């Protein structure tokens, strides 16, 4: 079981948020049209990138454990659609992940490999099962 801690701090510039996790730091922002400064991807873009990159990392992990699998190409393109509701809320209501993968495997083994990638991808499984979120106001 893993535990991840991500700290975010609102800056006084546009909609910029300084974010830190472990030794990594990055900026989350909104585009200028969204009252940001476009200094970094927005939260939805980070969410979508998490799905695609998790698929790629999972494929790599599986191939590392099974040296007979050689990944020649593994690219993802993740598209998200948001819906704006009348009360002002918005939500990601559709995510499409296109995976372009080439391996040395025959067709049946390649399909089994891809099923394993999807099944083992932590971010995909999390979104698929809509993890409960506990909010704590301190």
Tell me the C-alpha distance between 74 and 126, whole Å: 21
Query: Containing domain of residue 106, as a range?
Result: 42-128
pLDDT in tens, 27-81: 999 999 999 999 999 999 999 999 999 999 999 999 999 999 999 999 999 999 9
pLDDT tier for residue 102 given thresholds of 50, 70 and 90: very high
Q: In the chain, what's the furthest Cα-to-Cα distance?
A: 54
Instruction: Return the SS3 of 10.
Output: strand
pTM, rounded to two decimals: 0.91
More confident residue, 2 or 42: 42
Instruction: Return the SS3 of 88.
Output: coil
* pLDDT at 82 exceeding the cut of 70: yes
Domain identity same for 99 and 75: yes
Contact 94, 81 (CB under 8 A): yes
Domain identity same for 29 and 46: no
pLDDT tier for residue 99 given thresholds of 50, 70 and 90: very high
Domain identity same for 28 and 61: no
Tell me the C-alpha distance between 64 and 58, whole Å: 10
The pLDDT score that the predictor gives to residue 22 is 96
> Which residue carries 């939805």 as its tokens?
44
* pLDDT at 1 exceeding the cut of 90: no
Number of domains in the chain: 2
Neighbouring-strand partners of residue 17? 10, 28
Which H or E element spans position 18? strand 17-21
């Amino acid at each position: 079981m893993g535990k991840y801690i991500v700290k975010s701090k609102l800056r006084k510039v546009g909609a910029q948020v300084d974010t830190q996790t472990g030794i990594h730091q990055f900026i989350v922002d909104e585009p200028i049209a969204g009252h940001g400064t476009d200094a970094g991807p927005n939260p939805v873009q980070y969410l979508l990138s998490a799905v695609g990159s998790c698929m790629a990392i999972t494929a790599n992990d599986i191939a590392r454990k099974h040296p007979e699998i050689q990944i020649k190409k593994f690219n993802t393109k993740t598209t998200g659609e948001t819906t704006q509701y009348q009360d002002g809320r918005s939500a990601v209501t559709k995510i499409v992940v296109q995976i372009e993968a080439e391996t040395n495997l025959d067709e049946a083994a390649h399909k089994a490999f891809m099923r394993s990638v999807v099944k083992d991808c932590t971010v995909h499984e999390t979104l698929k099962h809509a993890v409960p979120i506990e909010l704590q106001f301190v």
